[in-house]
Amino acid sequence: MRTLYLRKDDTNITRKVLIDMAYLVSHKKIRLPKIYFEDSLYLPYFKDKAAQQVYKYFLTKAEIVSEDQDHYYFKFPFKLAQVEDAAI
Q: What is the pTM of this model?
A: 0.85
Within a domain: residue 28? yes
Within a domain: residue 87? no
Within a domain: residue 71? yes
CA contacts within 13 A on the Cβ side of 61: 2
Q: What is the pLDDT of residues 17-41, one digit of tens each?
A: 999 999 998 999 999 999 999 989 9
Using 50, 70 and 90 to split pLDDT, how confident is the model at 58? very high
CB distance 56 to 46 below 8 Å: no
Domain that holds residue 12: 5-82
What is the C-alpha R_g of the chain? 13
Neighbours of 59 (CB within 10 A): 23
51 vs 54, more confident:
54
Using 50, 70 and 90 to split pLDDT, how confident is the model at 1? low
Within a domain: residue 88? no
Q: Bridge-partner residues for 75, per DSSP? A: 29
Within a domain: residue 40? yes
